[in-house]
Structure 1
Amino acid sequence: MNALGPSLAPHIRSSRTLKKWVAPVAQWYANLMGYRQMGLKYDDLQQEELPEVQRALGRLTQREYYDRVYRMKLAAHQSVLHKPLPKEQWMSTKEDVRYLKPHIVSVLEEDTERAAWDALSVQRK
Structure 2
Amino acid sequence: MNCPCNPSNLYDDCCKKAHQNIHSVTTAEILMRSRYSAFVLANIDYLQKSHHSATRPSKYEKKEILSWTKSVEWVKLNVLNSTKNTIEFKAYFKENGSLNVIHENSFFVKENNHWVYKNAL
TM range (shorter): under 0.3
More strand by share: 2
> Greater helix share, 1 or 2?
1
TM-score under structure 2 length normalisation = 0.27
TM-score w.r.t. the length of structure 1 is 0.27
Larger radius of gyration: 1
Of structures 1 and 2, the one scoring higher in RCO (CA 8 A, sep 6+) is 1
